[in-house]
Amino acid sequence: MGTESSGKPVFFDPVRKRWPRLRAGVTLLGLTLSLLLGALVLSILASPVLPALHLPGVSFLPQGAHALPAIPVLSPERPLTRRERALRSEQIKLARVREANLQQWLEQPRKPGLTPNRQTLAIGFFVNWDDASMSSLRQNLDHLDMVIAEWLHLAAADGSLRENDPMRTAQVAAYIRTHRPEASIVPLVNNWNGHQWEGAKLARMLSNPAARARTVTELTAYVERHRFDGISIDFENVPPKAQPDFQRFMAELYAAMHPKKLLVSVNVPANDATFDYRSLARNADHLILMAYDEHWNDSAPGPISSLPWFASVLRQRQRDIPLDKMIVAIGNYAYDWQKGRPAEERTFEEAILVAKESEGRIRLDPVSLNPTFEYADDNDRIHQVWMLDAVTAFNQMVVIRSVQPRGVALWRLGSEDPALWQVFGKPGALDAAHATQLGDIRFPYGVDYEGKGEILEITAQPQAGSRTIVFDSKRGLISAEQFTVYPSPYVITRHGGAERKVALTFDDGPDPLYTPQILDALRQAGVPGTFFIIGVNGQMHPDLLRREVDEGHEIGNHTFTHPNISAISATQFQLELSATKHLLASTVGRHSLLFRPPYAVDAEPETIEQVRPIELAAALGYLVVGMQIDPDDWKRPGVDEIVRRTVEEAERGEGNMILLHDSGGDRSQTIQAIPRIVEELQQRGFRFVSVSELLGRSRDEVMPLVPPDSAWRTWLDGAAFGVLNWSAATLHWLFLLGIVLGIARLLFVGMLALYQRWQQRRQAFDPAYSPTVAVVIPAYNEEKVIVQTISSLLACDHSRQFEIIVVDDGSTDATYQVARTAFAEDPRVRVLTKANGGKPAALTLGMAQTEAEIIVALDADTVFTRDTIAKLVRHFVDPAVGAVAGNTKVGNRINLLTRWQALEYITSQNLDRRAFDALNCITVVPGAVGAWRRELVERVGGFTDVTLAEDADLTLAIRKLGYVIAYEDEALALTEAPDTVRGFIRQRYRWMYGTMQAAWKHRDVLFRRRYGALGFVALPNVIIFQVLFPLISPIMDLQLIGSLAVAAFNHVQHPDEYSPDALWQVLFYYALFVTVDYLAAVLAFSMERKESWWLLVWLFWQRFFYRQLMYYVAIKSTMTSLRGVLVGWGKIDRKATVQAAR
């Protein structure tokens, strides 16, 4: 009886037609989508160059923000005044004395240095505030043993410090560690506030022991926290009275850092009598002599570091500083003096450009051996420029190598003559061959701007320059240099500059919340806008692109994913532009010639790395649109501040493009600022125009229509983008739907569980009720556990004697023999055996052997507590009760997997049964512990084998008859959970597939009023949260991982302008779900009075492995149901690891 199948299993397809048809349909759909997307990819890859829009030449270039003035030639015959002649005569006399001393010093024999076998250190000073410094570091890092980086500043007299750019610091440190790990990284701290050296503040700090201690502590902590190699002190304008305090500070700093093997260096003027060099040398590893600024910006014009002066101060400092602590710092920059004004500091490149544009003649002053030239500016004011270049560095290196100090340092990376690297940081003597290598001059760092406006055009490529070198072999020095061809960098010409005209431009959109509001604001103000869109945003919201065009605005290309274009390959950059181009063509039927690089740095390039993408964009036919009026609205400084900054920058005439943002974060301040910006500027006489009008062109010229012969390709692109858009939107809404449904379910279940708890406490049972009871145990290969299971049953309390029926379902081990032998003498136990036919058949056979009113069923690996049977049976006093589910717990919590299962039983299965008990819609009385009214089991046909979840099938069948399915939380059963991943997946696959079968079999109850909560709550819960939810949960996780990946990508690309708003939104929803999940778990544990709360420690980690196994099970079960194959019941190996019930 019961060994034959009772019908065709649910989902079984005996003719095997369902799966081939499904597979053919999916394959056809996949091929169609693949062809569509493939056509889009090919279209993007083969994107032609846009039609060129030739810009007018610039006949007059007014002085712009980055432009060097056009300067007439200075006549060399200008007569000197009497005062100038006298001053020149004194300078020449002094220089000749120094030159004689230099010659004498060079000719005398040198004593070997204190460390003749130690390699001279090559050190470069780095600054965050100049992109050229980073360019130089990248190109020349291999020449350096140490990088001293200006990263810290004295913030206040209390000794606190300020870091100037933490993000940039982290990037630079990571770059050095990656590309030259052996190089030391030493941060520099100074007392520069961005405008001046703060000597008075420094003196107050130095005079206060507590402030000194704070500075020492913060410096030490900073160096240790970032794993740097030491600290470099650069306190300048130190008042003479503060010198003793300065020496005390250095002693305290050295005492703190030296035991930790951290380097301490101090930067000192090369020739300042107020400095006690000997005292400082005792409390530092290195003294860095700043052997430059012989003449400085506030002095009279003169050589910055004449070679006689340079040799003289080195000779003096040799008496004070041990050579193994001496670092000689050389400069490489220029001072531009104008009579009556402080000198302006220039980089070597800037000085050369001034000489080139003014047609100035650079000469090497024969006395100082420093280059110099003169010029007159456009107001006929005379300028005198003194420089330090590769030639001065060569001569200084000759002097330095004769001294053999510990090292040589360069102030600074990014301002230097690039030819310097032919000799700097290289060992060996310098000779004529090395001097000759300095002849070629290139500009590898900077960019020269001309004209006015923000539409950028590259009008000249970098050109190499040359100079002739005269080497004096007698002295071993370069005695003369002559520039024969001036080098030149990239020249970028600005277009679109116009008086009292401004264009509103918006980056990073479209955004479904903010872009419509901005369009409304523009319409109300009656002004045009230009929207530089990110392709991926435009793909998600094509309707907004169409609205922008329909309302007369212009659209520009802002790449597809908003990368840092100077950090990506040329191929990726082309794809970024092409993808957005095809999106626009397929959405609005137009191309756009306007392109704005992401991030302000890339939009106003200052280094070659930043120019190259601009050059490539221009080659593709784009007009590169920069910006000069940038109120930083993305930082949300406040509406008033956005308006004030915009108006001030427009009034200064710095540009015509107003940069605002319509996406990438909260843009409510921008929206509020727009009408006020328009009103303020219009009142001041400004007129709002489009970018095309600034160029003197029409909208159709900068946004040409797609040619008619490309209509079919545009339609295909549109269809492909539509598929991508639908896919992305589906992922987004599935994520939100999953979060919302998950939270709603947890709240709903939690409230119902509380209500059931309250009802349960008020429930009373008749102690006189004592029906006949039979316990049926189906068993297959359970020899390890069967004795313990039966023994726990025999120990159970019940007012009447009950019988135990063990049905061995054709075990291949000794289950039958073990059970029969162990309980042969106990009349309460009967052991039967049958041919293998599955669990339902075994249960049916066992039930047929008894006339008991109540059937208690349990798995052969389960152990009952003493009162489990009594607690289950007492509910049947109510004739409306058809079945009772007990409280299953994991009895073998021996590893992480079993602990996670224990958590799931408590926080999910049992909590659900509590909640659904309140609505009488429990969907499964578990096979591990449940009791059934026998007559009802027989009425519905008993345990069937058409599903793998015979317990769920039977539960639903009895509930459909109108009976109550109750839950008894004190009827405890300890079951053996799988302790391996393989066993776990096998068990859950059977459960999941069986649940799907049962739900499908009883789908007729869905939304039927006669079945009440079973059709409106329980079965939808099974379908949504036990079947569909695990299927979409991977999408939720992928959405989170994708958001984190995109955020990390954007942060790495450009941390200064990164906005985490989108990431915070995703994290908020996810965190909210996890929080509610935790609260529901706490609630579940509060109802399980004997449980260990330590299990909750594992709940968070359960989400990152355990639930992923459930995703796999859900996918596998779904695929099996679609394939229509037969699935066996399967068997899990028992290990008898359940602890006996107490």
| Six token digits for residue 808 | 């061995």
Residue 684 has pLDDT above 90, yes or no: yes
What are the pLDDT digits (tens) for 410-429? 999 999 999 999 999 888 88
- Tell me, what amino acid is at 744? A
pLDDT of residue 90: 53
pLDDT of residue 672: 97
Q: Is the dihedral of CA 836, 837, 839, 843 positive or negative?
A: negative
pLDDT of residue 731: 76
pLDDT of residue 603: 64
Decide if 950 is inside a domain.
yes
| Six token digits for residue 1063 | 């990431």
Residue 323 has pLDDT above 80, yes or no: yes
Decide if 479 is inside a domain.
no
Residue 147 has pLDDT above 90, yes or no: yes
pLDDT band, residue 110 (cuts 50/70/90): very low
Bridge partners (DSSP) of residue 163 are: 152
In Å, what is the CA distance from 87 to each residue of 81, 92, 680, 1132? 10, 9, 55, 102
What are the pLDDT digits (tens) for 835-863? 998 889 999 999 999 999 999 999 998 99
Q: How are beta strands 453-460 and 490-496 bridged, if at all?
A: antiparallel
pLDDT of residue 677: 97
Contact status, residue 347 vs residue 414, Cβ threshold 8 Å: yes
Residue 2 has pLDDT above 90, yes or no: no
Decide if 123 is inside a domain.
no
| pLDDT average, residue stretch 365-389 | 94
Bridge partners (DSSP) of residue 888 are: 973
Active site residue 661: yes
| Six token digits for residue 932 | 């059934």
Residue of 1021, 827, 1004, 856 whose CA lies nearest to 922: 1021
Contact status, residue 368 vs residue 353, Cβ threshold 8 Å: no
Burial of 510-519, coded b for 16+ CB within 10 Å and e otherwise, reads bbeebbbbbb
Indicate whether 963 and 1056 sit together in one domain. Answer: yes
Domain count, the chain: 2
pLDDT of residue 658: 96
Indicate whether 512 and 658 sit together in one domain. Answer: yes
96 prior amide bond cis, ω within 30: no
Contact status, residue 940 vs residue 857, Cβ threshold 8 Å: no
pLDDT band, residue 1135 (cuts 50/70/90): low
Angstrom distance (rounded) from CA 743 to CA 730: 19
If you search the block for the tokens 């070629």, which residue do you land on?
440
510 prior amide bond cis, ω within 30: yes
Decide if 487 is inside a domain.
no
At which of 703, 728, 757 does a domain end? 703
Residue 1069 has pLDDT above 90, yes or no: no
What are the pLDDT digits (tens) for 894-933? 899 999 998 888 888 888 898 999 999 999 999 889 999 9
Least confident of 440-444, 457-461, 1039-1043: 1039-1043
Indicate whether 743 and 681 sit together in one domain. Answer: no
Indicate whether 813 and 670 sit together in one domain. Answer: no
Look up the domain containing 1124 and give its range.
Answer: 719-1142
pLDDT of residue 50: 63
Angstrom distance (rounded) from CA 700 to CA 593: 10
pLDDT of residue 36: 73
What letter would DSSP give residue 508?
Answer: S
State the catalytic residue, choosing from 234, 389, 507, 953.
507
User: Residue 874's domain is classified under what CATH number?
Assistant: 3.90.550.10
DSSP 902-937: HHHIIIIIIHHHHHHHHHT------TTSEEEEHHHH
Angstrom distance (rounded) from CA 784 to CA 456: 82
Residue 349 has pLDDT above 70, yes or no: yes
| Six token digits for residue 175 | 């770059």
What are the pLDDT digits (tens) for 805-833? 999 999 999 999 999 999 988 999 999 99
Decide if 466 is inside a domain.
no
| Six token digits for residue 1139 | 């602890």
Decide if 420 is inside a domain.
no
At which of 703, 728, 760 does a domain end? 703
Phi, psi of 401 (to 5 degrees): -70, -25
Indicate whether 602 and 651 sit together in one domain. Answer: yes
Indicate whether 856 and 953 sit together in one domain. Answer: yes
At which of 670, 703, 736 does a domain end? 703
DSSP 976-1009: ----SHHHHHHHHHHHHHHHHHHHHHTGGGTT-G
Angstrom distance (rounded) from CA 1105 to CA 1099: 11
pLDDT band, residue 80 (cuts 50/70/90): very low
Residue 86 has pLDDT above 60, yes or no: no
Residue 169 has pLDDT above 80, yes or no: yes
Indicate whether 815 and 935 sit together in one domain. Answer: yes
Q: How many CB atoms lie within 10 A of CB 348?
A: 26
Indicate whether 930 and 975 sit together in one domain. Answer: yes
Q: Is the dihedral of CA 21, 25, 26, 31 positive or negative?
A: positive
Angstrom distance (rounded) from CA 345 to CA 190: 19
| Six token digits for residue 1014 | 């079973």
Contact status, residue 247 vs residue 207, Cβ threshold 8 Å: no
Indicate whether 658 and 618 sit together in one domain. Answer: yes
Residue of 667, 675, 682, 677 whose CA lies nearest to 641: 677
Angstrom distance (rounded) from CA 975 to CA 788: 12
Residue 1126 has pLDDT above 90, yes or no: no
User: H-type helices in 115-165, by residue range?
Assistant: 131-140
Decide if 800 is inside a domain.
yes
Q: Is the dihedral of CA 811, 812, 816, 818 positive or negative?
A: negative
Question: Which residues are CB-neighbours of 572 under 8 A, at least 6 positions away?
Answer: 563
User: H-type helices in 437-479, by residue range?
Assistant: none
What are the pLDDT digits (tens) for 968-1000? 999 999 999 999 999 999 988 999 999 999 999
Burial class (CB in 10 A: 0-12, 13-18, 19+), 218: middle
User: H-type helices in 489-569, by residue range?
Assistant: 514-525, 535-540, 542-550
Indicate whether 749 and 687 sit together in one domain. Answer: no
State the catalytic residue, choosing from 286, 541, 553, 661.
661
Angstrom distance (rounded) from CA 56 to CA 53: 10
Least confident of 148-152, 513-517, 731-735, 849-853: 731-735
797: left (phi over 0), alpha (psi -120 to 50) or beta: beta
- Report the mean per-residue pLDDT for the chain: 87
| Whether pTM exceeds 0.75 | no
pLDDT of residue 760: 81
Indicate whether 676 and 724 sit together in one domain. Answer: no
**Based on C-alpha coordinates, what's the Rg of the chain?**
42
Residue 190 has pLDDT above 50, yes or no: yes
pLDDT band, residue 64 (cuts 50/70/90): very low
pLDDT of residue 4: 41
Q: How many CB atoms lie within 10 A of CB 24?
A: 10
Angstrom distance (rounded) from CA 609 to CA 133: 12
pLDDT band, residue 118 (cuts 50/70/90): low
Residue 77 has pLDDT above 60, yes or no: no
User: Residue 694's domain is classified under what CATH number?
Assistant: 3.20.20.370
Indicate whether 1029 and 1117 sit together in one domain. Answer: yes
Helix (H, G, I), strand (E, B) or coil at 1044: helix
pLDDT band, residue 88 (cuts 50/70/90): low
Angle between helices 1106-1123 and 18-45 (to 10 degrees): 120
| pLDDT average, residue stretch 658-685 | 95
| Maximum distance among all Cα pairs of the chain, rounded to whole angstroms | 135
pLDDT of residue 710: 72
Angstrom distance (rounded) from CA 59 to CA 50: 27
Bridge partners (DSSP) of residue 556 are: 532
pLDDT band, residue 105 (cuts 50/70/90): low
Residue 45 has pLDDT above 80, yes or no: no
Contact status, residue 857 vs residue 776, Cβ threshold 8 Å: yes
Decide if 189 is inside a domain.
no
Euclidean distance between the first and the last CA atom of the chain, given in angstroms as a whole number: 37
pLDDT of residue 113: 44
Q: How are beta strands 121-127 and 407-411 bridged, if at all?
A: parallel
Residue 729 has pLDDT above 70, yes or no: yes
Burial class (CB in 10 A: 0-12, 13-18, 19+), 880: exposed
